[in-house]
Amino acid sequence: MTKPVLYLGSAWSSSWSVVGWMACRLGGLAVEERTIFLSRPDSPAKLRAISPSGRVPALHLPDGTVLWDSLAIAEWLWERDPACAIWPRDPAKRAHARCMAAELHGHFDEVRNGLPMNLIKRWPVKDGLPSHVKLMNRPGVRTGTERLEAIWRDALARHGGPYLTGEAFCFADAVMAPMCSRYVTYGVELAPESMAFIAAQMESPLMRAWRARAERQADEIGREVVLQYP
């Protein structure tokens, strides 16, 4: 039987690709993975050819169905197998996880745009100030960060951590992990409990595997290219 095909963007910078890839892992779906590097001249045409939105991830099923959104991919996977790790088994935890994932999916564009993801680069101190000082003052970045910290505090208080709904990593964590990576990239120091949560996200087995993928791609195409972005 032909495997589904999962189209992904550059591992070091495509935050939604992380989410779609983790969803397939959590859902237990074996896929053929194909990468479209997003910074090349022919990238827009390639993206339009595989995704109605012109974005990744995009999951192509053997029957011709195309799922071009990470949340849609996750829900399809859960409907396919409700016993999978996409959502918690407990109904209350599952409802909370869905709320967090939906909020993350639909909001926080200011944080994403103000602190672009780059899993390889680390921003230096310049002119005596950490580079994140200016970035954190971009419109919506600080407010969005405060909301993220509130989500983390509430989730940890309810479920005990280390992940959003307790000991098991679920799709809500998959959406959160690339958000957390931004604060590592830019050297942003948050509250101690926030930093501990970020560390747990960055060291989850799935995030470690994705970070290794980013490192391999950086070696493949040249770190000088990766370090130019953003």
| pLDDT value of position 123 | 74
What does the pLDDT look like over 176-220, one tens digit per residue? 999 999 999 988 989 999 999 999 999 999 999 999 999 999 998
Same domain, 44 and 105: no
What CATH number should be reported for the domain holding residue 139?
Answer: 1.20.1050.10
Quote the CA–CA distance of 7 and 70 in Å, as a whole number: 11
Per-residue pLDDT at 134: 78
Q: How far apart are the first and last CA of the chain?
A: 40
Domain interval for residue 16: 5-85
Give the relative orientation of helices 205-221 and 192-202 as an angle to the nearest 10 degrees. Answer: 70
Is the predicted pLDDT of residue 30 greater than 90, yes or no? yes
The span from the CA of 14 to the CA of 103, in Å, is 19
Residues 38 and 53 both lie in one domain: yes
* Band of pLDDT at residue 72, cut at 50, 70 and 90: very high
Same structural domain, 101 and 197: yes
Instruction: Give the pLDDT mean for 96-101.
Output: 98
* Sheet-wide strand order for 58-60: 32-35, 5-8, 58-60, 66-67
- The least confident of 36-40, 44-48, 58-62, 87-91 is 36-40
Number of structural domains the chain divides into: 2
- Decide: helix, strand or coil at residue 129: strand
DSSP annotation string for 122-187? -PPEETTEETHHHHHTSTTHHHHHHHHHHHHHHHHHHH-SSBTTBSS--HHHHHHHHHHHHHHHTT
